[in-house]
Every structure is written in C-alpha cells, then in structure tokens.
Structure 1
Amino acid sequence: MRRSGRMVRNIILIALMITAPAAAQVTVREDSLFSPALGRYERYTVLFPDGYHHGEERYGVLYLLHGFNGDHTSWHRSTRLVEYAASVPLLIICPDAGNSWYTDAVTGPSGRIETMFITELIPAVDARYRTRPERAYRSVAGLSMGGFGALKFGVTYPQLFGFAAGLSPSIQFPAGLEDSAIVARRSAASNASVRAAFGAKRSPVWERNDLFRLAERADAATLPYLYIAVGSQDGIPEIPLQAGTLAGILRIKGAAFELHESPGAHTWGYWDSALGRMLDRFRKRP
C-alpha cells in the first residue's frame, strides 16, 4: 500500500509538470542610438516580453526613467523589475539621462536630453522594435528625478503618452532652489545639477519646466492618466507635500489621476514595492 501511494504521488507530480504553464521569460538587452541632438551615443536598456523573439505580435512601450546619479541599468539591477515585467506584456525601455532632470540643460554636460528623448529615442524605438506606436500604448514612469521627468513629459506632450507615473517625484524643482531649506537639505552636486538644467531663477527655462504651472495651463481632457505615489517617511519632506499640491491642481481641473501615500522612504525598498503596485494598477487601468 505504501508503494502504491508513492506511485500515485509520482503520477500526480508528473501530470502537474506536464500541465503547468512555463514561467514567462523576460529578456534584458542593452542597446544604443546616436543622438544628433547630443552629438554622442546614448545607451538604454530594453526588456523584451515573453514571446517577443518568437512571434509577430506588437507591444505597448513603457519608458522607465532613473533618478539622480542613476543610469539605464538602475531599475533592473535595484528592483524586481524583471520579475514584475513577466506579468505585463510590454516593451520596457530604460534610457540613460545622466543628472539632466530630463530637460534641455542650460549649461553643463547633459545637453539636450529632452529633445533626444522626445524626437529621437521614441521614434527610434518605434522603428527598431515591434511596438504599438499609438498614444494609448505608450507610457512613461520614473522615480525621484525621473518621476519629475515622467510627469513633466506626460503633461507637456499629452499627444504622446496615455499614462504617466511619478514615484517619489521631485516636482519641487526648479522653483525649489528659491527655498533655502530645500537647498540646505540637498548635496552640492544635486543643487548644481538643478542649476545647470534650469538656469537663472524665473527664467523662461524655469517657466517651461515648472510642473505646477504646466498642470495649471494644461487641457485636462487631453492629459494622460497620471499616477503619483509617495512614501510617508520620505526623507525629503517636500516630496509628499508637493505631490499633494499637484494633486489639488489636477483635482480642480478635473484631470484623471490618482495619488497614493503609503509607508516608505526615499529608498529602493520603497520604489521596488511602489513599482509593483504601479504596474498592477497599469494592467487594470481603464
């Protein structure tokens, strides 16, 4: 009887192995393009969804932007992005933007990153890979500096994106440089990068990159769906405060958005869990 029971268990295990679906396989690859706007090659990471290399299906694209001192490898090296991506059939593109604040810098080595992203990278991705190039299938998200960039791109170029998300977005800049308390909390390198990106106080470049002003002027009917998530223990206190300010502007305008505040700090631990929640919400969006 004992032997018979063992045989039954083995048969069940074999049946489960035969019928269980194979785990989705996400492929990670580094690529680059030459940018005339920058006069140099720009690297980016591509995450290909399961089945991409064995079919003809086209996929939506998520551009995932890194934060200050990050690069095109930050997301997949520091979070469970590859694991999460297995459940979302998307091409995921992680560009390398340096400490540019995702804008056309006034001074410094960053150069015209915004121009590169909008007029060169997006068209190159649509030309090189099997994408669905319609607005509804193109999204952008980022953390901290990248959260600022993602929300700014979504509000500034609503014709390009159907969904934009900021995780712990540093939307206090550029105007935050006028606040001595904010400046004192940040490193000299961080403050220098903001000045290089946005130039003199209240210059036209500041005005073009002030997310609050951009949101106030935007046509709510044309905006992408905006998703904002912040940690309640963020060591940069203005981040949750100003996320609330932006949410207030969007609410008054009648824009489609959601704001989430949950336990967490300005750390990869928080961004990892926030990324998982954001992608889960992305799958269920209207």
Structure 2
Amino acid sequence: MKGFLLSCLCLLLLSTSLHAAKVDTLEILSPAMYRSFKCVVITPAAYDKDKTQRFPVVYLLHGHGGNYANWIRNVPAISGLADAYQMMIVCPDGNVGSWYLDSPVDSSWKFETYVGKEIPAYIDSHYRTRAQKQYRAITGLSMGGHGALFLAIRHPDVFGAAGSMSGGVDLRPFPRNWDLAKRLGTIEDHRENWNNYSVINIAYQLKDSVLALIIDCGVKDFFSNVNRNLHQQLLQQGVTHDYIERPGEHNWDYWSNSVLYQLLYFHRFFDKQETAKN
C-alpha cells in the first residue's frame, strides 16, 4: 500500500510540476496574547491564476520543540499536494510546548484561542478560502496531533474534519514530560486540568458523523497505547473514524509517510461536500 501511494504521489507531483504551489511565510497577530507568530501558508498555483476560485484549507500542526517551518522543511512534497488536491495548507506556530491550549495556570498562553479561532479568522479574511467548517480540516504530529483533535472537538463550528499522527491523545501518563506541568500545573495539585485537557477525556462530546476523523500511530511509538485506547473509546461510542497502525516510530520517517494518507483523506472529505451539494 505504501509503495502504491508513493507511486500515485509521484504521478500527482509530476502532473503539477509546471505550476508549482506558492509557499509564503508571514506573521499573524494574536490579539489574545498581544504578539505575533510566524506561519507558513501554501497556496496552489491555481490560486493566482483564477481570482474567483476559493479553496478548502488544511491546518497542519507541528510537534513539541518544533515550529511553523517544520512541515515544509521536512516534507516539501506537501506543496505539490496542495496543487494536486487544490487546497491551501496552513502551518501555524504553536511555540515550543504550548500543546495548543489556553493554559489554565498561565494566562499568557492562549494557543487554543490563537490556532483554533484567530488564525482561521485571519486566513479567511486575507485569502480566498471556502470559509465554512466543511471545507476546513486540522491535523498534526505528536503535540500537534493532540492539538488538532483537541481544537476540533472544542470548536465544532470551525472544523469539519480532523486528524492525528502519533498524537499524545492522553496527557496523564506523562506528567514529567514535554513542559506539560508548565501548561497544566503539576498532576498532583491540578489533576482536574490533566483530565479536562486530554483528548481522550473530552472525546465523549463527539457525536457520530459530526466530525470526520483520521487517527494513526506507528506500532513502535511511545504513544501507541494511548491511541489504541482512544480508538476503542470511539468504537464504544459509535463514532465513525479511520484508525490506522503501521510499522513506524516517533520520527519524520513515519510522519512524512503518514501525512500523505491524511491529506488524501481530507481531499476526499472536501470532494464529498461538493458531491453532496450537487
């Protein structure tokens, strides 16, 4: 399957090689945090050719210790997929370890507000997007996988589809890792925060078919168990979702392959919205 997908990708990239997508880096202000952060915005070549055409958007989040440029630097093929799938791809900055939360213990950290509300509003007001939730998706790796599901569940009016690649979907097993205590307080003193800000604990809010979901994780990833637990919970709730395990670890070899599947999933999701309209 992986070889077939890569072959299809090569054909898609070849077909769009004469009309390359445009990759811009800009700064987007967060009124909630009174500062700006950089962001990569990828627009397909058709964006500048047809000034009447509007495009769906995929928000692609980085992991802990990363930044806005990680995806385009490590997987430059995503710009070709923006062309092939006629979509915009937006890579916000979630700082080193925001976990895409509005921290309940540090009011200066409002990355749920920034990435979940302020950035989509900015992109919709400055670009020709299809500004309805059914044409807006969000996914990410590791910390960004958690962030994507967390934001999509908390803001069902903003996102119609969401994904996670190797996501830290349950924060509670990792109380000493990745700046989590700085964002949530220690688990001993603030256990309620750890419960309320873990994806697996808010997934009960999901109703079937309200949010299109794709979740994957490598079998040798240290987040594999928490992803399996989330999968089982969604099955018990009757929430339709795609769940994939494949060989792989918590690294760019895995994510550079995983993102191909996820962008295809979102492309098909956007196409279904068009079919339903016609």
Normalised by the length of structure 2, the TM-score is 0.84
Q: Distance in 2 between matches of 1:110 and 1:265?
A: 33
Residue of structure 1 aligned with 2:194, choices 201, 206, 213: 206
Q: Distance in 1 between matches of 2:17 and 2:251?
A: 33
**Counterpart secondary structure, 2:217:** strand
Amino acid corresponding to residue 272 of structure 1 in structure 2: S
CA RMSD of aligned residues (A): 2.0
Q: Distance in 1 between matches of 2:254 and 2:108?
A: 28
Amino acid corresponding to residue 92 of structure 2 in structure 1: P
Larger-gyration structure (1/2): 1
Q: Distance in 1 between matches of 2:212 and 2:150?
A: 13
Q: Distance in 1 between matches of 2:193 and 2:19?
A: 44
Taking the TM superposition and a 5 Å limit, the aligned residue runs for 1:190-205 are 190=178, 193-201=179-187, 202-205=190-193
- Kindly state the Cα deviation for residue 137 of structure 1 after the two structures are TM-superposed: 0.2
Q: Distance in 1 between matches of 2:113 and 2:107?
A: 15
Taking the TM superposition and a 5 Å limit, the aligned residue runs for 1:110-189 are 111-173=109-171, 175-177=172-174, 183=176, 186=177
| Matched length | 251
- Kindly state the Cα deviation for residue 206 of structure 1 after the two structures are TM-superposed: 2.7
Alpha carbons 1:97, 1:110 under 8 Å: kept: no
- Kindly state the Cα deviation for residue 200 of structure 1 after the two structures are TM-superposed: 3.6
Q: Distance in 2 between matches of 1:107 and 1:120?
A: 21
Distance 1:22 1:222, change over 3 A: closer
Matched with 1:261 is 245
Q: Distance in 2 between matches of 1:112 and 1:283?
A: 30
Alpha carbons 1:100, 1:110 under 8 Å: kept: no
Q: Distance in 1 between matches of 2:107 and 2:94?
A: 11
59-68 or 248-257, larger mean C-alpha shift = 248-257
Amino acid corresponding to residue 202 of structure 2 in structure 1: L
Amino acid corresponding to residue 63 of structure 1 in structure 2: Y
Q: Distance in 1 between matches of 2:16 and 2:124?
A: 31
Alpha carbons 1:33, 1:42 under 8 Å: kept: yes
Q: Distance in 2 between matches of 1:146 and 1:110?
A: 20
Taking the TM superposition and a 5 Å limit, the aligned residue runs for 1:26-45 are 26-45=21-40
Distance 1:159 1:108, change over 3 A: closer
105-114 or 95-104, larger mean C-alpha shift = 105-114
Any unmatched runs of 5+ in structure 1?
A: 1-19
Residue of structure 2 aligned with 1:82, choices 67, 79, 85: 79
Instruction: Say yes or no: does 1:229 pair with 2:216.
Output: yes
Matched with 2:257 is 273
Q: Distance in 1 between matches of 2:235 and 2:22?
A: 39
Matched with 1:48 is 43
Alpha carbons 1:155, 1:223 under 8 Å: kept: no
Distance 1:249 1:196, change over 3 A: same
Alpha carbons 2:103, 2:183 under 8 Å: kept: yes
Q: Distance in 2 between matches of 1:273 and 1:225?
A: 20
Q: Distance in 1 between matches of 2:160 and 2:212?
A: 6
Amino acid corresponding to residue 223 of structure 1 in structure 2: V
Any unmatched runs of 5+ in structure 2?
A: 1-14, 273-278
| Alpha-carbon displacement from aligned partner over 1:148-183 (angstroms, at most 9, x marks no partner) | 00011121212211110000001131x1245xxxx4
Distance 1:73 1:110, change over 3 A: farther
Amino acid corresponding to residue 57 of structure 2 in structure 1: V
- Kindly state the Cα deviation for residue 257 of structure 1 after the two structures are TM-superposed: 0.6
Alpha carbons 1:44, 1:72 under 8 Å: kept: yes
Residue of structure 2 aligned with 1:71, choices 58, 67, 73: 67
Distance 1:91 1:264, change over 3 A: same
Alpha carbons 2:22, 2:42 under 8 Å: kept: yes
Normalised by the length of structure 1, the TM-score is 0.82
Distance 1:219 1:172, change over 3 A: closer
**Counterpart secondary structure, 2:84:** coil
- Kindly state the Cα deviation for residue 251 of structure 1 after the two structures are TM-superposed: 1.1
- Kindly state the Cα deviation for residue 263 of structure 1 after the two structures are TM-superposed: 1.0
